[in-house]
Amino acid sequence: MLLDELGFPELTAEQIEFLCQTTEDTVRKYILNQVASKDVNQLDIFVEVEGTKPVNVSVEVELVLTKQAEAIDVEALVKQAVETGQTTAENFLRKIQ
């Protein structure tokens, strides 16, 4: 489980919803490009936007793989997936500033 935050100016409700969905989709796609879906027992992705000025974007991933995928470094995979999601969030926020 990893959690990180980014600070940006106030967003509309529609922008927040789009930001959360886009970030979640990016994280999910990244993980499923690294691991076959049949090797994933549990994948929970949480993207939360809090505050008004600045806005904080939190990304949290819980990943449990099958025994067949035990050679995969889950911590490193989750860390990279969160970083990829944060990059997506940053790019989105830079475009709307």
pTM: 0.85
Position 81 in a domain = yes
Identify whether the C-beta of residue 77 lies closer than 8 Å to the C-beta of residue 31.
yes
Domain-embedded: residue 29: yes
pLDDT digits (tens, 9 = 90+) for 16-47: 899 999 999 999 999 999 999 999 999 999 99
Structure tokens belonging to residue 36:
């076959």
What's the structural domain count of the chain? 1
Structural domain span for residue 50: 7-96
Containing 35, the helix (H) or strand (E) segment is: none
- 38, 54, 49, 47: which is closest to 82 by C-alpha? 47
- In the chain, the amino acid numbered 96 is I
Tokens of 9: 């100016």
In a domain, 17, yes or no: yes
Is 1 contained in some domain?
no
Q: Give domain status of residue 55, yes or no.
A: yes
38 contacts 15 by C-beta, under 8 angstroms: no
Q: Is residue 2 part of a domain?
A: no
pLDDT at 3 exceeding the cut of 50: no
Indicate which CATH number applies to the domain containing 74: 3.30.300.100
Average confidence score pLDDT of the chain: 87
